[in-house]
Amino acid sequence: MIGLFKRDLALAVRAGGGFGLGLAFFLIVTVLVPFGVGPNTGILSTIAPGILWLGALLACLLSLDRVFQLDWEDGSLDLLATSPLPLENVAAIKALAHWVTTGLPLVVAAPILGVLLNLPGPGYGWLMASLALGTPALSAIGTFGAALTVGLKRGGLLLSLLVLPLYVPTLIFGALVVTRGAAGLDATTPLALLAGITLATIATLPFAAAAALRVNLR
Amino acid sequence: MHMTVTDLACARGSLQVLAGVSFPLSPGQALILRGPNGSGKTTLLRTLAGLTPPLSGKIVAEPDAIAYAGHADGLKAQLSVAENLRFWAGIFGGSGIDDAVSAFDLAELLDRPAGELSAGQKRRLSLARLLVTGRAIWCLDEPTVSLDASNVARFAAAVGAHLAGGGSAIIATHIDLGLPQADILDISPFVAKSLPVSDPFSDEAFA
Amino acid sequence: MSFWEYANPRKFMATSAMLLPWVATLAALCLITGLIWGFFFTPDDFRQGSTVKIIYLHVPAALMAINAWLMMLVTSLIWVIRRHHVSALAAKAAAPVGMVFTLIALFTGAVWGQPMWGTWWEWDPRLTSFLILFLFYLGYMALWEAIENPDSAADLTSVLCLVGSVFAIISRYALVFWNQGLHQGATLSLDAEQNISDVFWYPLLVCIAGFVLLFVALVLYRTQTEIRVRRLKALIAQERMA
């Protein structure tokens, strides 16, 4: 299992675009927003929590179709499926690797982008906490979506269509944490609900993803 | 390690391609699958490897006994030859990387990224992977594609050594590997002539 | 004689062919009666005026939008557990019908909301959850279309339906947390006391019965079509093999 995780990290680093691309996308989305809504810092600081969460969500979405596609194309997925490693573990490891290469950098970069959008002072801690607790759910849900669409020729667009509605609760609670936090309120309740969603998705979706992979491999 | 296949029917997509396949496979035995293109050799191998569920029939083998190698090499271009082998050895919990390297003459290529190898070299690497899986039954789909004569001999020697060590192999190939222990299984007689009886949409269409 | 015999396509085709004219006729009767009764023979609401009459389309459509998904969930489960092809095809057949009901509910809601709340659209939890339900229908249908092998498509869409149902419920509660909403309380509720007077209630019941029957008729008809498509494919495959 650790071997698969290490290999995925090595591939992400060497192939380029693993760590960098999602982050760059996050940066560009965030930078584009003021061009769209105007430079008014008051408005920007109001919408900053939502924009940052939405940017992080889209950046996660961007790299999802690579989660299984490359392994499927070069036959590695067939070999993994016949290996002693259960596909459930493969799916869980893939989700973890996706989070480490995509979600984790976003958590670290988000406060810097928060400055660009004038996010109010108390919001920064909540922003990092909510992204750290919420992005694993994005990776787990996304891995499930990737498993559903792995064999399809134009899976990328379909993947977004399938995954985005599933992202709704995570986005709602995640952005709510930051909105409340930035307003100086206590955001423990939505944060706890967010953590609940993350734990539930991590615990259950690898099984659904493995079931989908088995169907797609046959 | 024994494997017994009884009255197996396999499907590609939702279409039945083979029916009534039966054979025993004993340790030290190699089975060469023959049959025209599209007759279902790949489907049979994928079914035996457990990737595709059989439509009906039974495959009796010990769990985790089968190593599968298909058309695709299953290599990562960004990883070196050694890293690729180490990864699969780690996944299968096998050892014997050194044996695999010497069997397929990969020593000089160990540090090269797999993406820079020629097609034949990639094939050798993907066949070397079979040795590090430590699995007893090899299911190989056209393993000699893009191998030159000397490397085909190398491959035949590796299969021979595997059989001598009590392993067995099912190989879909058109080349004569010169293996004395090899039996030939022509699958043409098993090619399905009709939809499976269990197909719920066929019963009435012809009623 | 077991219920599962209807999972056999031949049996299903025979039974549904017998039922379909009756169900369709009843659906038409109920809809015509209910809608005419509701639109022309009920008084205006003392607060909402004549706009309240859209309730005869809105409430049954919304009800069936959710029930269609529920039916897909049940039939998907039957496919996953018992591998009955008709069940999977019924789920496939129900999706577009459910999606159209969702659209009707959204559209009539917008038309009703304009005079009542002064806006066509409001990010109210109820409205928003129907929008999300619509997206779920879209994704489900797109996945069916994208996969060539019908059995794989049935498997994958079933998994999506199961996971989607759980997420739909979570979304529903997340939305309540997110925004308290303008939408009036439930028109129909099993536990609360009746909050609609009999004058409106009876024609509404007839309309609901009409929508349920319409749904059943459409799903039966569409499932028949799906079965015919599969038979045709079986015939072509048989032709090619022989």
Task: Find the CATH number of the domain harbouring B43.
Answer: 3.40.50.300
Looking at the predicted structure, is the pLDDT value of residue B198 above 70? no
Q: Which whole number is the average pLDDT over B79-83?
A: 88
CA dihedral over A182, A186, A190, A191, signed as positive or negative = positive
Single out the residue of B59, B48, B5, B21 nearest to residue B191, CA to CA: B21
- What residues make up the domain containing B166? 32-53+64-182
> Domain for residue B188, yes or no?
no
Looking at the predicted structure, is the pLDDT value of residue B26 above 50? yes
DSSP per residue over A147-211, as a string?
A: HHTTT-TTHHHHHHHHHHHHTHHHHHHHHHHHHHHHTT---HHHHHHHHHHHHHHHHHHHHHHHH
Single out the residue of A133, A143, A84, A82 nearest to residue A106, CA to CA: A133
Q: Which residue has the tokens 């996971």?
A: C163
> Domain for residue B162, yes or no?
yes
Which of C132, C139, C174 minimises the CB distance to A162? C139
Predicted local confidence at residue C43, as pLDDT:
77
Query: Using CB atoms and an 8 Å cut-off, which of residues 8-47 of chain B contact chain C?
Result: 13-15
Q: pLDDT by residue (tens digit) across C89-126?
A: 999 999 999 999 999 999 998 888 888 777 888 788 88
Angle at B164 between CA B160 and CA B170, to 5 degrees: 55
Write the CA distances from C111 to B11, C121, C232, integer angstroms: 52, 9, 43
Number of domains in chain B: 1
Q: pLDDT by residue (tens digit) across C125-164?
A: 888 889 999 999 999 999 999 988 888 999 999 999 999 9
| Cα gap C29→B175, rounded to integer Å | 72
Residues 6+ apart with CB under 8 A from A163: A61, A64, A141, A142, A144, A145
| Cα gap B6→C201, rounded to integer Å | 64
Summary mean pLDDT of chain B:
84
Number of domains in chain A: 1
Residues of chain A with pLDDT under 70: 16-18
**Could you tell me the pTM of the whole model?**
0.91
- What residues make up the domain containing A40? 2-217
CA distance to partner chain B, nearest, from residue A166 (Å): 29
CA distance to partner chain C, nearest, from residue A39 (Å): 26
Predicted local confidence at residue A143, as pLDDT:
95
Q: pLDDT by residue (tens digit) across C162-173?
A: 999 999 999 888
> Domain for residue B152, yes or no?
yes
Predicted local confidence at residue A166, as pLDDT:
94
Which of A162, A172, A197 minimises the CB distance to C160? A162
Task: Note the residue count of chain A.
Answer: 218
CB of A16 within 8 Å of any CB in chain B? no
Q: Are strands B137-141 and B3-12 parallel, antiparallel or unpaired?
A: unpaired
Q: pLDDT by residue (tens digit) across B107-166?
A: 888 888 888 888 888 888 888 888 888 888 999 988 888 888 888 888 888 888 888 888
Please give the share of chain C, as a percent, with pLDDT higher than 70. Answer: 90
The alpha carbons of chain B give a radius of gyration, in whole angstroms, of 18
CB of C40 within 8 Å of any CB in chain A? no
Contact A102, A20 (CB under 8 A): no
Task: Answer whether C148 sits within 8 Å of B13, measured CB to CB.
Answer: yes
Angle at A114 between CA A108 and CA A116, to 5 degrees: 120
Q: pLDDT by residue (tens digit) across C32-65?
A: 999 998 888 877 776 667 777 888 899 999 999 9
Summary mean pLDDT of chain C:
86
Predicted local confidence at residue A202, as pLDDT:
95
Tokens standing for residue B106: 């990969």
Looking at the predicted structure, is the pLDDT value of residue B207 above 50? no
Q: pLDDT by residue (tens digit) across C165-199?
A: 999 999 888 888 887 655 666 665 555 455 667 77
Q: Which residues pair with B76 in a beta bridge?
A: none
Q: At what angle do helices A19-37 and A41-62 cross, to 10 degrees?
A: 150
